């Protein structure tokens, strides 16, 4: 295996260099530990990579593109990431949801501007979102926590939890008109769950609140800038990152006191093999993944001609039409079918970051949900949805590159079946992932920890899963304080 730093026994090895793996390594190295990160892919970064898969001069985010969670995460608030935070480019409109006939709902940076644009639903929007945005810092710290500690601000959390725990469908009943209802459907469907499922409202509220509180930024030059910042910090701390070394068994790893896995639960089971107690192995096998995604990147000869003007200023677009249409699309996916008119998430980074394409050109990023492991290329269906709300789009396409759900997993083993969230976002699995346990980062094997998006607080680029896994290592082996709440 890899050479690693010149020390006889490492304090810690991290397998996997996604944002959580790198955040775990930084937390450990910042505590003075000797750390090596071992990554299977040729390039570090997991879900934070940028490439030119269409044409030279066009920079596409391979996975994550929009980063409210970087802007909000306590991990990225460290002064060493000031430069990264300055490189976050804020679209004037965080997200918009076009409807037929040139109408759209849009989330602006200000709650008032958003409410004013929603006509008869403005007052209901202001009542729902205003108090959350006022309390955003405490709500974010709680939601991006291990979801275990007693809330320091229970009333702020109740403001979020009471409307959020029911489904998005229930939450949408507060609104009379389609722009507000569709806006909520589009943002809630990031959960990948049916819009009738509990907690889908919480996804919508959290991401909607983030649009007002911290924006939905893209990273100047692409999401790989996040990994560049993390890697620079690791280097400064003296840790090593080795790439191109897929790990197949724990026995391949250099000697260390602790190992943190930035892998799926299945990856943990495969690496630890017979070392895992059978009961824990069975619990890991019960872990459920969410639907997959089929993703397309486009090189365009110009900006997308959205019929609704507000969409031309939006970083992210949720396509799919009315609340009922989006809900139907998501339930089709959960029934194992490919929707004819899929709900799509589309990002146009060029509205905020002109560096992604040659002058006068644009990149576009988009995906739709599909059944797990799907090999179906959804490019035609996704492009039909864009064309529906932006007639003339197809004439701008210079080149495209598509990755099916099955290809997502081939590219990164953590994307099981193409699941981008590290696991299904059910109520149970949001609180208890990968198994039901007070400290889900600690495995029954001494010295072995899990710190990927398959642990709380779950998917997205925030690094907090890795941070809590690392704090558990520091507590268990190096005299650190309790990682959170009580043990
Ligand atoms: C298409 C797509 C779009 C997304 N969009 C967004 C977005 O806009 N905003 C957002 O916040 N999030 C987004 N996400 C989710 C986000 O990318 C993930 O939640 C995040 O990257 C999870 O981080 P992680 O460190 O847990 O795992 P990953 O980022 O998946 O990293 C895991 C790493 O571990 C490596 N690895 C796994 N097993 C082994 C092994 N056995 N040996 C060696 N290396 C191994 C993998 O190669 C990979 O590099 C998106 C994801 C995808 C796929």
The finding on whether 206 has its CB within 6 A of some atom of ligand 1 is no
User: Which backbone phi and psi does 127 adopt, to 5 degrees?
Assistant: -65, -35
Q: Which stretches within 359-483 are classed as H helix?
A: 379-389, 405-411, 427-431, 464-477
In the prediction, which pLDDT does 158 show?
63
Q: At a CB cut-off of 8 Å and minimum separation 6, what does 213 contact?
A: 72, 133, 136, 137, 140
- Ligand 1 midpoint to CA 322 (Å): 31
- Ligand 1 midpoint to CA 190 (Å): 16
Q: What is the pLDDT along the chain (487 residues), one digit of tens a residue?
A: 444 444 569 999 999 999 999 999 999 999 999 999 999 999 999 999 999 999 999 999 999 999 999 999 999 999 999 999 999 999 999 999 999 999 999 999 999 999 999 999 999 999 999 999 999 998 888 888 876 665 566 666 666 666 667 889 999 999 999 999 999 999 999 999 999 998 888 889 999 999 999 999 999 999 999 999 999 999 999 999 999 999 999 999 999 999 999 999 999 999 998 899 999 999 999 999 999 999 999 999 999 999 999 999 999 999 999 999 999 999 999 999 999 999 999 999 999 999 999 999 999 999 999 999 999 999 999 999 999 999 999 999 999 999 999 999 999 999 999 999 999 988 788 778 999 988 999 999 999 999 999 999 999 999 999 999 999 999 999 999 999 864 3
The finding on whether 166 has its CB within 6 A of some atom of ligand 1 is no
The finding on whether 244 has its CB within 6 A of some atom of ligand 1 is no
User: Nearest-CA neighbor of 188 among 173, 201, 199?
Assistant: 201
- Ligand 1 midpoint to CA 415 (Å): 7
Q: CA 259, 265, 267 angle in degrees (round to 5)? A: 70
Sign (positive or negative) of CA dihedral 191, 451, 472, 434? positive
Give the residue whose CA is nearest to atom 15 of ligand 1. Answer: 460
- Ligand 1 midpoint to CA 419 (Å): 10
- Ligand 1 midpoint to CA 18 (Å): 5
- For the CA of 414, the nearest atom of ligand 1: 30
The finding on whether 223 has its CB within 6 A of some atom of ligand 1 is no
In the prediction, which pLDDT does 140 show?
87
- Ligand 1 midpoint to CA 113 (Å): 34
In the prediction, which pLDDT does 427 show?
77
The finding on whether 16 has its CB within 6 A of some atom of ligand 1 is yes
The finding on whether 246 has its CB within 6 A of some atom of ligand 1 is yes
- Ligand 1 midpoint to CA 414 (Å): 6
In the prediction, which pLDDT does 138 show?
87
Half-sphere exposure of 367 (CA within 13 A, CB side): 23
The finding on whether 290 has its CB within 6 A of some atom of ligand 1 is no
The finding on whether 320 has its CB within 6 A of some atom of ligand 1 is no
The finding on whether 47 has its CB within 6 A of some atom of ligand 1 is yes
Give the residue whose CA is nearest to atom 12 of ligand 1. Answer: 460
Give the residue whose CA is nearest to atom 7 of ligand 1. Answer: 64
pTM of the model: 0.95
pLDDT tens readout for residues 283-293:
999 999 999 99
Give, for ligand 1, the residue of 13, 22, 64, 248 to mutate: max count of ligand atoms closer than 8 Å to Cβ. 64
In the prediction, which pLDDT does 484 show?
83
At 119, list the tokens.
């006509």
The finding on whether 463 has its CB within 6 A of some atom of ligand 1 is no
The finding on whether 64 has its CB within 6 A of some atom of ligand 1 is yes
d(CA 468, CA 20): 10
The finding on whether 63 has its CB within 6 A of some atom of ligand 1 is yes
- For the CA of 347, the nearest atom of ligand 1: 8
The finding on whether 61 has its CB within 6 A of some atom of ligand 1 is no
d(CA 169, CA 200): 8
- Ligand 1 midpoint to CA 459 (Å): 8
d(CA 45, CA 23): 11
E strand residue ranges, 169-246:
218-219, 240-242
Put residue 99 in one of left, alpha, beta given phi > 0 → left and psi -120 to 50 → alpha: beta
The finding on whether 19 has its CB within 6 A of some atom of ligand 1 is yes
The finding on whether 186 has its CB within 6 A of some atom of ligand 1 is no
Pair 74, 144: CB distance under 8 Å: yes
- For the CA of 421, the nearest atom of ligand 1: 19
Element (H, E) at 284: helix 278-285
- Ligand 1 midpoint to CA 84 (Å): 19
Pair 292, 374: CB distance under 8 Å: yes
Sign (positive or negative) of CA dihedral 245, 251, 256, 261? positive
């Amino acid at each position: 295996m890899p050479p690693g730093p010149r020390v006889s026994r490492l304090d810690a090895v991290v397998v996997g260099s996604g944002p959580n793996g790198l955040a775990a390594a930084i937390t450990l190295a910042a505590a003075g530990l000797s750390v090596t990160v071992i990554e299977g892919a040729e390039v570090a970064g997991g879900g934070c990579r940028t490439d030119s898969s269409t044409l030279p001069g066009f920079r596409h985010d391979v996975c994550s593109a929009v980063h409210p969670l970087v802007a909000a995460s306590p991990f990225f608030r460290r002064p060493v990431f000031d430069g990264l935070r300055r490189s976050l480019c804020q679209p004037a409109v965080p997200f918009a949801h076009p409807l037929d006939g040139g109408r759209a709902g849009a989330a602006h940076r200000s709650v008032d501007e958003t409410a004013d644009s929603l006509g008869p639903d403005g007052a209901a929007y202001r009542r729902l979102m205003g108090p959350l945005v006022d309390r955003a810092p405490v709500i974010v710290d709680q939601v991006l926590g291990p979801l275990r500690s007693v809330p320091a601000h229970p009333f702020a959390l109740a403001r979020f939890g009471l409307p959020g725990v029911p489904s998005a469908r229930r939450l949408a009943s507060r609104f009379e008109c389609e722009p507000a209802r569709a806006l909520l459907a589009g943002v809630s469907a990031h959960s990948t769950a049916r819009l009738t499922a509990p907690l889908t409202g919480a996804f919508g509220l959290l991401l909607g609140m983030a649009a007002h509180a911290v924006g939905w930024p893209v990273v100047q030059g692409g999401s790989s800038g996040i990994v560049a910042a993390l890697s620079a910090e690791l280097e400064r701390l003296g840790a090593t990152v080795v790439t191109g070394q897929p790990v197949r068994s724990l026995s391949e790893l250099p000697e260390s006191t602790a190992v943190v896995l930035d892998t799926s639960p299945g990856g943990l089971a495969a690496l630890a093999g017979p070392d895992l107690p059978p009961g824990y192995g069975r619990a890991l096998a019960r872990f459920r993944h969410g639907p997959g995604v089929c993703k397309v990147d486009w090189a365009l000869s110009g900006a997308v001609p959205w019929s609704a003007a507000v969409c031309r200023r939006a970083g992210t677009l949720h396509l799919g039409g009315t609340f009922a249409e989006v809900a139907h699309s998501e339930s089709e996916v959960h029934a194992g079918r490919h929707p004819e008119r899929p709900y799509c998430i589309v990002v146009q980074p060029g509205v905020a970051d002109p560096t992604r394409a040659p002058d006068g050109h644009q990149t576009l990023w988009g995906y739709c949900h599909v059944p797990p492991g799907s090999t179906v290329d959804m490019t035609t269906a996704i492009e039909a949805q864009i064309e529906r709300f932006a007639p003339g789009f197809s004439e701008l396409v210079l080149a495209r590159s598509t990755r099916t759900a099955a290809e997502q997993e081939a590219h990164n083993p953590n994307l099981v079946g193409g699941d981008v969230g590290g696991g299904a976002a059910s109520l149970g699995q949001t609180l208890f992932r990968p198994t039901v346990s007070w400290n889900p980062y600690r495995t029954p094997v001494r010295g072995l920890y899990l710190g990927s998006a398959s642990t709380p607080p779950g998917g997205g680029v925030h690094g907090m899963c890795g941070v809590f896994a690392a704090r558990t290592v520091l507590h268990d082996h190096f005299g650190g304080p309790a990682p959170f709440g009580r043990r």
